[in-house]
Structure 1
Amino acid sequence: MTSSTSKPSLSINQVLIYGGLMVTLSMGIRHGFGLFNLPITVANGWERETFALTIALQNLIWGAVQPITGALADRYGALKIMVAGGILYALGLAGMAVSTDALNFTLAGGLLIGLAQTATTYSMIYGILGRNVPADKRVWAMGIAAAAGSFGQFLMIPVEQGFLSFFGAQDALLLLALMASLMIPTAFMLREKNFSHHHQLGDQTIKEALGEAITNPSFRLLTLGYFVCGFQVVFIAVHLAPYLKDLSAVYPDVGAPVVATSALALIGLFNIFGTYSAGMLGQRFPKKYLLSGIYLGRSIAIIGFLVLPLSPITTYIFAAIMGYLWLSTIPLTNGIVAQIFGVKYLTMLSGLVFFSHQLGSFCGAFFGGYLFDKTGSYLIVWEIAIALGVFAFLVNLPVKERALVRVANA
C-alpha cells in the first residue's frame, strides 16, 4: 500500500480543535434529545412511539446517506458538505420547535437532522483527520476527536435541561438551532486548501473501493459489531429518562428529572475518558480485542443495572460505566478501517460501516418505544441489548487488522 505524498493543508491542532468543536456541537445537541421525549409527547398528546419513530428515522437516514455524503467529501472535499450540514441541522431543530403534527415533526427531526448529521459528525471529521494526520498518530487523534464529541455530550445535557426548565420545549429547540448554526463558520476553519482526490492509492475508483471492502471478511465483522453499538447507545439515550420515570412509583428517588439529566451527563463525562483511552490503547494493542471487551463490558453493566435495586446511586454508577464504554468503539472501528484500506476513501468506508451502526440505532430507538407501548415495559429491550453485546464480543474476535497489499497498476 502506498503512502500519501501530498503535504497536509491542516495541522494536527487545527483538525483536533475545529473538528472537535464540530462534533461537540453535532453530537452534543443530539445526545439530549431523550430529554425532550416526555415534554413533547405529553404536550402534543402523542404516544412515545411517535417520538421514538422520529429519532429512529433520524438515525436510519444518517446511516443510509452517510456513505454517499462520505463519497462526495472524499471526491470534492468536505467544506461544502459541512456547511450544508450546519444549515440543515439548524433548520431541522427549528422545524421540530414549530411542528404541531407528527408528520412535520418527523420530517424535521428525522429527515433534516438525519441528513445534517451525515455532514457534521465523526465520519466527516475522520476523513479530514486521516488525510492530515500521520498514520502513527491516527488512532490517537481519532480518540481525541471522539473525546471532544463526548465532552459535547457532557456539556450539552445540563444546557438542554436548563433550556427546557426555563423556556419550555419549543423555545429550547429554537435556542439549539442557533447553537447549531455555529457549525457553519467552524466548517470554514477545516477547509483543506490543497485537497486532492488523487493523493493516495493511485487510481482506485469508488466502485473498486466498495467492492474491496464489501468482500473483506473483517470489514463485514466490524459492520455486524457496529450494529450492536448503535442499538445499545441510542436505546439508552432515548429511553433511559422515561424508564426511570416509569419506575418512580416503586423507586421514588429515581423519578426526579435531575436523576435522568445527571445520568446522561455522566455518560458524556466518562465518555471523554473512555474515547481518549481507546485512542491511546488502540495505538499499542490489537484494536479488535479492545472492541470485544467493550461490548462484553456493556452487557455486564446492563445486567448489573437490572439486577441491583434501582436508586440514584446505582443509576449514576451504571451511567459512568456505560459512558466509559459509550463511544470508545468509534476510534477503534475507524482505526481498523483506515489500517486495512488506507485513507483515500476513509470517509466513505467509515460511512458504510456506520450505516450498520445506524440500523442498530433505528432498532434501538424505535423498538424501545414500540415494545414499551405493546408490553408496558422496557425489560425485553434491555434483554435484547444484553444478548447483542455478547454477540458483538464474539464477532470482533476474528477481525484481521493487517493492511491490504495492492498490486500497482502498470
Structure 2
Amino acid sequence: MRQLAPGTVIIIAGSLIVSLSFGVRSIFGVVMDPISATYDWPREVFSMSLAIQNIFWGLGQPLFGWIADRFGDRRALWLGFVVYLVGMLMSAMGQTPLAQHMGAGMFVGFGIAGTAFGLVLSVVGRATPEARRSQALALTAAFGSLGQMIMPAVAGLMVESLGWQTTLLAFTAVLLPMAACIPFMRAGTPAGDTPDPGAASTRALLRTAFGHRSYLLLTVGFFVCGFHVAFISAHFPAFVAEMCATPDGPATELGALTLSIVGVANFIATLAVGRLGAIYPKPYILSAIYALRAVVILVFISMPVTPASVIVFSAVFGLLWLTTVPLTSGLVATMFGTRNMGTLWGFVFLSHQAGSFAGIYLGGRVYDLTGSYDLFWYVAIVLGVVSAIVHLPVEDRAWRPATATA
C-alpha cells in the first residue's frame, strides 16, 4: 500500500483540526438567543462574551504562533486543545455573565487561537514549497470549513429538541478527535524558502515586519475581514430568526441553516481561490473580494428580507467568506518565509480579531439601542470599500532589505 507523503498527512490532519475547531466555534451564534432568553439577558451580554472570545483569539494568535515557532507546533496545539475543552465546559455550565465571559469568551478564544487557522496554516506553509503553497493553504482552509457546513444546522436542531446546555456539552465532545491529529502536525522549513529577516530575535523580526509597508497594509485590511465574518457569524442567525419569523415563532432553524450554507459556498470558493492565487497577484484578488462583499451586502439590504433572499445572500457571501485566509497567509509567507510564519501571521490575525470584537460587540450594542442592525450593515459596506482600496498597493513578493547607497 502506497504511503502518503508527509505534506499530505499534515494537510489531512490540519484540515480535520481546523474543521472541528472552527465548526464548534460557529455554533455560538445559534445559542446566543436561547442563552439570553434563559437568563433574561439583553443581547449585548452574550455578544460581549463572543466579542471577548474573538479578541482573546486574536491576542492568543501571536502567543501561540511564538510558542509554535520556538518550542514546536505540537506543543502549541496541545495547549490550545486543552484550553478549548475547558472553555466549552465552562460555557455549558455558566449561569452568569462573568462565567460566559470567561468560558465562551476568554478560554474558548485562547483555545481557538491554538487550534484553528493561524497555527495549522503555519504548519502547512512550512510543509510545502512556494510553488505549491497557495494551493495547499487553500485546500486546508477549504476542508477546514467543512465543520461549518454541518455543525450550525445540527446545533440548531439540537437546541430545539435538547436545549442549549446539552448542545454545548455534545459539541465539547466533538473536539476530542483533535487529539488523534495533533501528533502528525510537524514540519520543517522547505528548501529554498525565503530567508527569515530578524530570525535571531523576535524583536528584530517584528521591527522588520512592521517597517514593511505591504505587511502593515495587509494587517489593516484584514481588520475588515474579521468585522464582516464575526458580525455575520454571531448576529445573522438571530437577524434571520427575527426578520423571517412566522406566527408560530422565530425562524431559528433557518437562522442556523444560513451558516451551513455559508460553509458550503466557502468550501467551493476557497478551492478556486487557491488556484487563482497561484496565477494572479494575491493583493488584487483580495481587493476584489472585499469590493464584492460591499456590493453583495448593499444589494441584500436594499431588498425585502425573505427566506429566499436570506438563502441567496448566504450562498453568495459564502463565496467571499474565508477565501481571504489562504491569500493573506500566503502573502505573509511570500514576504518573510515560513520559519517565523506563526508569529508574523499571528499579528496579522490579531488585527482580524480586533475587527471581530468590533463586529460582534458593537453589533449587539447597536441592536439593543436601536432595535435593528440597519446602521451596522452600512458600516460593513463602507469598510468593505476601504479594505478593497487598502489591498491594492500590497506587493506580492519577498521582502528584501534596503541596500545602502553611496
Structure 1 length as normaliser, TM-score?
0.92
Question: 1:261-276, aligned counterparts within 5 Å?
Answer: 261-276=256-271
Alpha-carbon shift at residue 192 of structure 1 (Å): 4.6
Q: Provide the rounded CA distance (Å) in 2 between the counterparts of 1:50 and 1:325.
A: 29
Match of 2:385 in 1: 390
Q: Which deviations, in whole Å up to 9, do the C-alpha atoms of 1:34-68 show, x marking residues without a partner?
A: 00011100011111101100000000011112112
Q: Provide the rounded CA distance (Å) in 2 between the counterparts of 1:101 and 1:339.
A: 45
Match of 2:87 in 1: 92
Match of 2:98 in 1: 103
Amino acid at match of 2:180: P
User: Structure 1's 261 and 61: CA in aligned 2 closer, same or farther, altered over 3 A?
Assistant: same
Match of 2:157 in 1: 162
Match of 1:239 in 2: 235
Match of 1:326 in 2: 321
Question: 1:256-405, aligned counterparts within 5 Å?
Answer: 256-405=251-400
Match of 1:3 in 2: none
Q: Provide the rounded CA distance (Å) in 2 between the counterparts of 1:224 and 1:356.
A: 7
Q: Does 1:27 align with 2:22?
A: yes
Amino acid at match of 1:112: F
Contact 1:150 1:272 in 2 (8 A): yes
Q: Does 1:215 align with 2:198?
A: no
Q: Which deviations, in whole Å up to 9, do the C-alpha atoms of 1:150-192 show, x marking residues without a partner?
A: 2111021222223223321001111111111222222112245
| Count, aligned residues | 398
**Structure 1: runs of 5 or more not aligned:** 1-8
Match of 1:229 in 2: 225
Alpha-carbon shift at residue 247 of structure 1 (Å): 2.3
Amino acid at match of 2:69: D
Question: Which of 32, 37, 51 is matched with 2:32 structurally?
Answer: 37
Alpha-carbon shift at residue 253 of structure 1 (Å): 10
Contact 1:227 1:357 in 2 (8 A): yes
Q: Provide the rounded CA distance (Å) in 2 between the counterparts of 1:253 and 1:224.
A: 44
Alpha-carbon shift at residue 12 of structure 1 (Å): 2.0
Contact 2:244 2:306 in 1 (8 A): no
Amino acid at match of 1:82: L
Match of 1:54 in 2: 49
Structure 2 length as normaliser, TM-score?
0.93
Q: Provide the rounded CA distance (Å) in 1 between the counterparts of 2:247 and 2:208.
A: 54
Contact 1:254 1:312 in 2 (8 A): no
Amino acid at match of 2:62: P
Q: Which deviations, in whole Å up to 9, do the C-alpha atoms of 1:339-391 show, x marking residues without a partner?
A: 11111111111110000000000000000100111111111111100000000
Alpha-carbon shift at residue 13 of structure 1 (Å): 1.1
Q: Which 4+ stretches in 1 moved above 6 angstroms? A: 251-254
Amino acid at match of 2:368: D
Match of 2:169 in 1: 174
Q: Percent identity?
A: 35
User: Does the residue aligned with 2:330 lie in a helix, a strand or coil?
Assistant: helix
Contact 1:244 1:260 in 2 (8 A): yes
Q: Provide the rounded CA distance (Å) in 2 between the counterparts of 1:54 and 1:10.
A: 41
Alpha-carbon shift at residue 402 of structure 1 (Å): 1.6
**Structure 2: runs of 5 or more not aligned:** none
User: Structure 1's 226 and 407: CA in aligned 2 closer, same or farther, altered over 3 A?
Assistant: closer
CA RMSD across the alignment = 2.3
Amino acid at match of 1:223: T
Q: Which deviations, in whole Å up to 9, do the C-alpha atoms of 1:9-48 show, x marking residues without a partner?
A: 9722111100000000001111121000111000111111
Q: Does 1:140 align with 2:135?
A: yes
Q: Provide the rounded CA distance (Å) in 1 between the counterparts of 2:54 and 2:196.
A: 32
Amino acid at match of 1:79: R
